[in-house]
Amino acid sequence: MKVIEIKDVEKIYNDSEVQVHAVNGVSLSFEEGEFAAIVGPSGSGKTTLLNMLGGLDNPTSGEILIGGVNIGKLKGSKLIDFRLYNIGFVFQSYNLIPVLTAKENTEFVMQMQGTSKEKRNKRVTELLTAVGLGDRLDSRPNRLSGGQQQRVAVARALASKPKFILADEPTANLDSKSTENLLDIMEKLNREEKITFIFSTHDARVVKKAHRVITLEDGKILNDEIKD
Amino acid sequence: MVIIAVMLGIFGGVMAMGIMQGWIEQRIHASIYNEISHVQIHNPKFMYNEEIQYTIKDYGKITSILDTMSGVVAYSPRVKLFAMAKTAGAATGFTLKGVDAEKEMQVSEIYKNLVEGNFLEGEHRKPSIVIGSETAKNLKLINYQVTQGKLDSINREDFPGEVIDQISKIGAKRFRNENDFKSALKKVLSGNDYKRYANDLAKYFSFYRTRASIAITLQDKEGDLVYPVFRVRGIYKTTNTTFDAMNAFVDREVLNRYTGLSETEVNEIAIISTDNDAGALLAEKLSLRLPEQEVMSWRQLSPELAMYTDFSTLISYIYVIIILFALAFGIINTMMMSVLERIKELGMLMAIGMNKKRVFSLIMTESVFLTLTGAVAGMLFSGIMVAVLSRTGINFSMWSEGFEALGYAAIVYPFVTWQNYAGVTIMVIITGMIASIWPARKALRLNAVEALRTE
């Protein structure tokens, strides 16, 4: 089942003298449960594409359909609500709320969705245990290592069972051991929860783990490889 | 910082409110219980020139009404006239009030403010008069003498040893006025010691000449001058030096012997009710029942007092508003910094699905919470201070002369009601909310993508 359909999407930035085609006529689709990486050099359009997929930026032309909904037509609070219920984010620098514990950070999105406390507790405990932090529920981010914080961020992104998760350079600030641990966890959760993961990355280890690698250059798809 | 600023601001505002209300409350109480009472009844013609022949008609009927009317706690009939008083050394004028001591003590607290003697107790060959301390001063009935007894009991913490040794050289001479006494002090004390201690020494070594005789000149009801002599057997001192200078009390029956008035002929009935509002209401009811009399409430007798009562709370709140206005800028500054420092975090929150309404209320709630925390701390602190100071009082006696000339006490007991605290709390919450609007709007205008890129 197609979770995401990108149809001939362009993003053009108008600088004072020059037009920049950050994304130039990209068409793609992603199925449920995919574990895909978008790679390319700096300036290839990976982050711009990811931002548009996440509804944080609008395409200049083309369509992005998520679960059949054209997110380009959503505005204001409708777009924000769509993100809340359908898209999970994992950021490069974790972006946990420093005053909340691991548990509270993880359940944050579910709280905004109005999920009951009982359901939240169950889901949060389940996820934090799955990422290996079952004994650190009440730890604040400043008590966790970089790898542990990123695992909490993954748990947070998964907590509300979104349609897919966007991870922008999630391993960029981690050492190799933490990266391996994180990728293993994400792969495991991808299998168990059947949630699509889309990475934007330079990290070869991520590329190695990914089941599909999409290479971008100058805003266009250079290659789209599905591994066996 | 916001919490401390709000705490100090609230403390300042509540204390200022408490002091002002305490001052006004004391002034009102003193005014009503020493000077004007809650209600006064007069013959309408009496109010023009206060001539004693204009007595209240149907006195018996009125007292029957007052004896049974609800809202009347006590009343005192008075004869009231202007008199001149003379002693060997001086003369002055004042309002002489002929009262029934027992009834008068139920409507007035003058008897509680006696500094010498008693309030018209007993029968004497020479009838008694109770005068104010200012009258005693004007009639030179305050003398000054360095007695051994007073030297022995002087507080050596108030006056250094060498000063006490010097003033003992003055000897036991009696001085009839303050200037002469101070001249004597100047001769024995150094310049600095004189400047520093002369007023306090004059106060300490002063004494009232009770049992002095005063010759009074007054007009009887026929308009003829009569010249009774009274003996000073009581001296009072209120917080209003003007009142103290202008009012003296004698027994009504005694005064009637000179004025020719009868037992049922009085110029004024002063009435005390349960409280100030009840007093105003009582005056209205009495006006309707006694249309031929001049019935005045304390609000009419003293319009400035009514104004203080009506506006004191308002003025107190204006002080608090000014303080909160200044605080608002502090809150805006702090919350703006808070938003700018958390741009990335706010970008993340918007990215994961926090809508504008939630972002707005996040900033507002933080601001209100900070402000409220500071306010609660400030009110707790000021509550404790007010509780302590309402017992001990705040001593402004360095400026007592000025205060008492205006009728205000030099020692003020701050006074804050629970309604004041509630009102200030609400104002603080509103201030916090208003002050957080600008920072909250700043947060709303953030672009999630750009915010996430912030270092």
Q: With contacts defined as CB-CB under 8 Å, which chain B residues touch A87?
A: 353
Interface touch B351/A85, C-beta < 8 Å = no
Q: What is the pLDDT of residue B455?
A: 66
- Looking at the complex, report in whole angstroms how far the Cα of residue B448 sits from the nearest Cα belonging to chain A: 7
pTM above 0.95, yes or no: no
Q: How far is B379 from chain A (nearest CA, A)?
A: 28
Alpha helices in A46-145 (DSSP H): 46-53, 76-86, 102-113, 117-130
Kindly report the nearest CA distance between residue B451 and chain A, in angstroms.
11
> Is B353 close to A109, i.e. CB distance below 8 A?
yes
User: Residues 327 to 386 of B: which have CB under 8 A from any A CB?
Assistant: 344-345, 348-358
Among residues B124, B140, B134, B142, the alpha carbon closest in space to that of B86 is found at B140
State how far the alpha carbon of A81 is from the alpha carbons of B321, B342, B350, B351, B355, in Å.
40, 22, 10, 10, 7
Rounded to the nearest integer, the mean pLDDT of chain A is 90
Residues in chain B: 455
Contacts of B445 in chain A (CB under 8 A): none
- The model's pLDDT over A3-36, given as tens digits with 9 standing for 90+, comes to 899 999 999 887 667 788 888 889 999 999 999 9
Give the tens place of pLDDT for each residue, A170-215: 888 888 888 888 888 888 888 888 889 999 988 888 999 899 999 9
Rounded to whole angstroms, the Cα distance separating A89 from A198 reads: 10
Tokens of B198: 């002369």
Chain A residue closest in CA terms to B454: A93
- Closest chain A residue by Cα to residue B342: A97
Whether the Cβ atoms of residue A180 and residue A3 lie closer than 8 Å to each other: no
| Distance, CA of B218 to CA of B98 (rounded, Å) | 12
CA angle, corner A81, sides to A78 and A86, nearest 5? 120
Q: Which helix (H) or strand (E) holds B35?
A: none
Separation of alpha carbons B128 and B216, rounded Å: 12
Angle CA A78–A79–A85, to nearest 5: 90
The helix (run of H) or strand (run of E) holding residue B239 is: none
> Residues with Cβ < 8 Å from B15, sequence gap 6 or more?
B382, B385, B386, B414
- What is the distance, to the nearest Å, from the Cα of residue A6 to the centroid of all Cα atoms in its chain? 16
B136, two tokens: 């005693």
Alpha-carbon torsion B54, B58, B60, B65, what sign?
negative
What is the DSSP-derived secondary structure letter of residue A169?
Answer: S
Instruction: List CB contacts of B57: < 8 A, sequence separation 6 or more.
Output: B43, B292, B293
The pair of three-digit structure tokens given for residue B25, joined into one six-digit string: 């409350």
- How big is the A-B interface in CB pairs under 8 Å? 48
What is the C-alpha to C-alpha distance for residues B332 and B140, in angstroms, rounded to an integer?
Answer: 63
Q: A58, A84, A95, A169: best mutation site toward chain B, by most B Cβ within 10 Å?
A: A95
Residue pair B132/B236 in contact (Cβ under 8 Å)? The answer is yes
Contacts with B, A 78-117, CB within 8 Å: 80-81, 83-85, 87-89, 91, 93, 95, 97-98, 108-109, 112
Please indicate whether, in this complex, the C-beta atoms of A84 and B358 are within 8 angstroms of each other. Answer: no
> Which residue of chain A comes nearest to B357, CA vs CA?
A77
Please give the residue of chain B at the shortest CA–CA distance from A58: B449
Least CB-CB distance to A80: which of B345, B348, B355? B355
Alpha-carbon span A150 to B45, nearest angstrom: 94
Q: Six-digit token pair at B14?
A: 């509540």
Q: Are strands B268-272 and B74-86 parallel, antiparallel or unpaired?
A: antiparallel
Q: CB distance from B211 to chain A under 8 Å?
A: no
Per-residue pLDDT, A14 = 79
Q: Which amino acid is at A33?
A: G
Dihedral over Cα of B437, B440, B442, B444: its sign: negative
Contacts of B76 (CB under 8 A, 6+ apart): B37, B99, B100, B103, B104, B106, B107, B108, B269, B270
Which residues of A are less than 8 Å from B351 in CB distance? 54, 56, 83, 89, 91
> Would you state the structure tokens that stand for residue B228, as one six-digit string?
């009774």
Q: What CA–CA distance (Å, rounded) separates B270 from B267?
A: 10
Give the closest residue to A151 by CA, choosing from A113, A119, A115, A189: A189
* Alpha-helical segments (H) within B159-239: 161-167, 178-188, 191-204
For A98, half-sphere exposure in the C-beta direction (CA atoms, 13 angstrom radius) is 7
Instruction: Give me the residue from B348, B356, B449 closest to A95, CB to CB.
Output: B348
Look up the ipTM and state it. 0.86
DSSP letters for B311-373: HHHHHHHHHHHHHHHHHHHHHHHHHHHHHHHTHHHHHHHHHHT--HHHHHHHHHHHHHHHHHH
Kind of pairing between the strands at B268-272 and B39-42: antiparallel
d(CA B73, CA B278): 11
Compute the nearest-CA separation of B454 from chain A (Å).
Answer: 11
How far is it, in rounded angstroms, from Cα B455 to Cα B205? Answer: 77
Q: What is the mean pLDDT of each run of 10 residues along chain B (455 residues)?
A: 81 85 88 94 89 90 93 95 91 95 95 92 90 92 88 83 86 85 90 88 86 92 92 92 94 95 94 93 94 94 86 82 85 86 88 89 86 87 90 79 72 86 84 87 86 77
Mean pLDDT over residues A86-111, rounded? 91
Count Cα neighbours of A129 within 13 Å in the Cβ-side half-sphere. 6
Residue with tokens 């013609």: B45
Burial B57-72 (b: 16+ CB within 10 A, else e): eebeebeeebeeeebb
Neighbours of A176 (CB within 10 A): 10
Beta partners for residue A11, in sequence order: A23
| Residue B278 neighbours by CB distance under 10 Å | 17
**Chain B residue numbers touching A156 (CB-CB < 8 A):** 352
Q: What element of type H or E holds B431?
A: helix B418-444
E strands, A68-203, in order: 69-70, 87-90, 164-168, 196-201
Per the listing, tokens 């602190």 go with: B381
> Got the DSSP string for B79-115?
EEEEEEEE-SS-EEEEEEEEE-HHHHHHH--GGGGEE
- Beta pairing, strands B74-86 & B213-219: antiparallel
